[in-house]
């Protein structure tokens, strides 16, 4: 069996986001890009399965939709241990576009298990995984916090309200994973880093797909205004402020 891990690159979580001129994109100057944390955990789990001879997983591929400038992040995935990498050479305007491109890749290359992060830490859309399964007409499970292979069958654990749901999944399928899928992201070993140099990144040109959405404007949350304390003995003042200053009642 073959696993595909879909990875996106996101600004390092400590980045202070600035908006670019026109306020419809972020200013990428000086940003350090990293693998989306959920995808990194998916990759870690995929590699654990591959390295367990009993699982029957033969290889792990990563796929990314993005321009050549995002190759360092793909290289990092290879250094962590992915066997192969695919890049669809296009910017990613929206989730629909990305999912459509990835679905095309999957059709060409045939994977058994497709792992997507539940969201990416930049736009937090939570859309791509579900859309891929829809494009391909294959089952998907979301909120997946565990995956194992038992006697050749994939078993996933989903977190549901108040408990867990355990499902056997027929391949091929999409698993939309969340934290818990692996304990800690795997650190790239020096040998992996050196090997990554020798691995090819396969580049596909994008298929003709029109994005469905368009970002017209990004706004930063308004800075929180100062907190005012009102003496507990003085509820009248609170009512007065809510009515006359905040004008909410």
Partner 1 sequence: METVKLLKSGEFLVAETSPDDVFIPEEFNDEQRMIAQTCQDFLEAEVYPNMADLEKGDRELMKRILKKSGELGMMGISIPEEFGGFGQSFVSQMLVAETTGAGYSFSVAYMAHCGIGTLPIMYYGNKDQRERYVTKLATGELIGSYCLTEPGAGSDANSGKTNAKLSEDGKYYILNGQKMWITNAGFADTQVVFAKIDNDRVMSAFIVERNFTGVVVGNDEHKMGIRGSSTAQIYYNDVKVPVENLLGKRGEGFRIALSILHMGRLKLGANVVGAAKKAVTDSVKYANERKQFGVLISSFGAIKHKLASQVIRLFASESAVYRVSRDIDGMMETLKADCGDTGRASIEAISHYAVEAAILKVFGSEMLDFVADEAVQIHGGMGYSAEMDVERGYRDSRINRIFEGTNEINRLLVVDTAMKRAMKGEFDLFGKAEALFNDLDKITGGESSGESYFIEKSRYIQNFKKVIMICIHGAVKQFAKNLINEQEVLNNIADMMMETYVSESLLLRVTKLENLKEIKPVYRDILDVNVYDTAEIVRKSACDAIYSFASPETTTSLIKAIEALTTVRGVNVKDARRRIADKLIEDNRYGF
Indicate whether 31 belongs to the interface with partner 1 (CB under 8 A).
Answer: no
In the numeric block, the tokens 């009102």 are attached to 230
Indicate whether 62 belongs to the interface with partner 1 (CB under 8 A).
Answer: no
Site mask for partner 1 (CB under 8 A), range 190-209, x = bound: xx-xx-xx------------
Q: How far is the CB of 17 from partner 1 (least distance, A)?
A: 13
In the complex with partner 1, the residue whose CB is nearer, 172 or 185, is 185
In the complex with partner 1, the residue whose CB is nearer, 26 or 188, is 188
- The long-range contacts involving 147-151, CB below 8 angstroms and separated by at least 24 positions, are 147/45, 147/49, 147/113, 147/115, 147/175, 147/177, 147/181, 148/49, 148/55, 149/1, 149/49, 149/54, 149/55, 149/56, 149/57
CA angle 84, 42, 95 (to 5 degrees): 85
In the complex with partner 1, the residue whose CB is nearer, 69 or 153, is 69
In the complex with partner 1, the residue whose CB is nearer, 190 or 246, is 190
Q: How far apart are CA 177 and CA 141, in angstroms?
A: 8
Q: How far apart are CA 230 and CA 244, in angstroms?
A: 15
Site mask for partner 1 (CB under 8 A), range 155-194, x = bound: -----------------------------xx-xxxxx-xx
Q: Applying CB under 8 A, which residues contact partner 1?
A: 14, 16, 30, 72, 75-76, 79, 184-185, 187-191, 193-194, 196-197
């Amino acid at each position: 069996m073959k696993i595909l891990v879909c990875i996106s690159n996101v600004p390092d979580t400590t980045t202070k986001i600035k908006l670019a001129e026109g306020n419809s994109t972020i200013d990428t100057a000086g940003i350090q890009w990293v693998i989306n944390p959920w995808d990194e955990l998916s990759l870690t789990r995929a590699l654990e399965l591959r390295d367990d001879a009993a699982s029957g997983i033969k290889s792990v591929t990563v796929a990314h939709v993005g321009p050549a400038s995002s190759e360092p992040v793909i290289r990092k995935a290879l250094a962590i241990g992915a066997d192969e990498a695919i890049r669809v050479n296009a910017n990613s305007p929206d989730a629909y576009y990305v999912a459509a491109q990835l679905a095309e890749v999957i059709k060409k290359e045939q994977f058994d298990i497709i792992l997507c992060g539940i969201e990416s830490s930049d736009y937090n859309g939570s859309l791509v995984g579900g859309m891929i399964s829809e494009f391909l007409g294959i089952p998907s499970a979301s909120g997946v916090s565990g995956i194992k292979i038992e006697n050749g069958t994939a078993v996933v654990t989903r977190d549901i309200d108040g408990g867990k749901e355990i499902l056997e999944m027929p391949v091929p399928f999409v698993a939309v994973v969340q934290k818990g899928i692996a304990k800690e992201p795997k650190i790239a070993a020096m040998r992996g880093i050196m090997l990554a140099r020798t691995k090819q990144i396969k580049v596909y040109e994008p298929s003709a797909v029109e994005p469905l959405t368009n970002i017209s404007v990004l706004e930063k949350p308004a800075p929180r205004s100062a907190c005012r304390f009102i003496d507990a003995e003085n509820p009248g003042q609170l009512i007065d402020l809510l009515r006359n200053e905040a004008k909410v009642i």
